Amino acid sequence: MKKFWTFIKHKRSDVSKIPPLKSNGTLHSEPTDKADILNGQFQKAFSDKTTITEKEFKEQCNMPGKSEQILDINITENGVYKLLNNLHPNKAAWPEKITPR
């Protein structure tokens, strides 16, 4: 099955590109303009600045005020060993940059 999809991928003639983007009512197709528009959007989305309080955020997200707590966690040496033993060394690293090697 993998060979089939590899073949299909190589035979495709279309190339994935970022389509023209609209900013302030104007459509932009130049790569530098699109890069500037995306950069501005990412800066807004991932800015450390916040204009709302935590309470307002929870209300907007319909989140309860208190989260459930884990009351009892039982960690054993044998349990950790089993989990570590099942790691595959050729798999990708986790988001925390922890590799199975």
User: Are the beta carbons of 48 and 54 closer than 8 angstroms?
Assistant: no
Nearest by Cα to 30 from 20, 39, 40? 20
Report the chain's mean pLDDT, rounded to a whole number.
80
Band of pLDDT at residue 18, cut at 50, 70 and 90: confident
Residue 15 CA to residue 42 CA, distance in Å, equals 24
Which of 3-7, 8-12, 40-44 is predicted with the least confidence, judged by mean pLDDT?
A: 8-12
Segment 43-74, tens digit of pLDDT: 887 777 777 788 887 777 776 656 666 677 88
